[in-house]
Amino acid sequence: MAPQQNPRRARIAFSDSAAKQVENITSEAEIHALDRALVVISVDPDVGEPIPGDTAGPRLRQYTDEVEAVRVLYFVTALRTVVVVAYIEV
């Protein structure tokens, strides 16, 4: 029997403002919490809740992990291969 392959994960990219937020994180615990949230989103980009809004631009989603106290706003590209992180709260 052939081994089952893991599903392909989406690549994570950051908007300029989200990249600046990441640069300002200094706590190891916050970095670990954000990393865990990004892995969840990359494996299943639909995990977050859609944010109501304008349909003209990309559809924003929100993923919240209450255990790790992380909130990530993001959108998924059309081919679903890239998740663009727009905003982070840790």
pLDDT (tens digit, 9 = 90+) per residue, 47-88?
Answer: 999 998 777 777 899 999 988 889 999 999 988 899 999 999
- CATH class, domain 11-89, is alpha beta
d(CA 20, CA 22): 5
pLDDT (tens digit, 9 = 90+) per residue, 4-54?
Answer: 555 688 999 999 999 999 999 999 999 999 999 999 999 999 999 999 877
Q: Is the per-residue pLDDT at 2 higher than 60?
A: no
Q: Give 43's DSSP letter.
A: H
Q: Where are the domains of the chain?
A: 11-89
pTM summary value: 0.84
Q: DSSP 3-state helix, strand, coil percentages of the chain (rounded to 5)? A: 30, 30, 40
> What pLDDT score was predicted for residue 8?
83
